Structure 1
Amino acid sequence: MNTDRCRETLKGRVPKIRILVPEGSLLSGIAHEIREMVLAYESDGHDFQCRGDAVNACASYAYALGWLDAGCSIGILSAGNPDGGWFIPASQSPDHGETRLGEKTARYRKLLRTACDAVLPSPDPGSLLLSGSEKIVMTGRTFLIYGETAMREHREWVALSCFSYGFGWLDAGIRAGFLTAQKDRDIFTI
């Protein structure tokens, strides 16, 4: 199940998180905040899983991975090598929660689609940061496509993971100032 793979991926990478920018620099606050978001959503995922809520645990773990990989891509964190295999399920689903899984997956699909439509790169077209901002947008859109493909194939756990992960990238990009929300600002952590 994706919940287990996401959890295990985080469990292996979180202890390796290192902030790469000097303390007190312009980027250190962003690095600390991204790290805190990763830790908070890893903890939330654990709490959900302990209560038997695999659906919300999966969404939390994947969202944390999105923030973590965005922070590493920006270059302000390191956390070991990303393992892209976390969203390929070992098995399709647990014994319960199919209705909730479908509902949650549909909500996260809508959330990521709304986010993809709302964001634009923040840097000036002449800025060296523009290509990095475009990568963040592209990652969100790519995981929307992956998730929609998984939904068509009735692989809801994969879809939920992809939608949550992609939204984590966009949310981190907004929070770090690489993206701007042209609309629907209330869905982002800003």
Structure 2
Amino acid sequence: MSADLAEKTDRYERLLAEALDAAEPVAPADTPLDAAAAEFEEMAHSYLEDGRHFREEEDLVNALAAFSYGHAWLDAGARIGLFDVPDEGHLFTV
């Protein structure tokens, strides 16, 4: 196992977990946008859980991919206005 892969996997897991904590849904309640925000957040949580499962199985390639996909869901949701996220820092590209 490559030390670089292990470090990157750790970093992306932390990034996704921190991003999930920081993202606040802002869509009006009981609207299609609210439902979309919930779906985006659920996908991010699911990919975090999947990544942790892959890590336990020592499958770092799939763990890293899962963490990356999960973060992509949150970042996309932030870019289209489903989440309020920090303007500064490393968590989001908005």
Q: What is the TM-score of this pair, normalised by structure 1? A: 0.41
Alignment match of 2:53 (pick from 23, 47, 53):
47
Cα distance in 2 for residues equivalent to 1:79 and 1:56: 27
2:53 maps to amino acid: D
Q: What is the TM-score of this pair, normalised by structure 2? A: 0.80
1:66 aligns with 2:72: yes
Identity %: 32
1:77 maps to amino acid: F
Output the aligned Cα RMSD.
1.6
Aligned length, in residue pairs: 84
1:83 aligns with 2:90: yes
Unaligned residue ranges in structure 2 (runs of 5+)? 1-6
Unaligned residue ranges in structure 1 (runs of 5+)? 85-190
2:90 maps to amino acid: D
Q: Which runs of 4+ in 1 moved over 3 A?
A: 79-82
Cα distance in 1 for residues equivalent to 2:17 and 2:76: 17
Cα distance in 2 for residues equivalent to 1:78 and 1:52: 34
Partner of 1:7: 13
Greater relative contact order (Cα < 8 A, sep 6+):
2
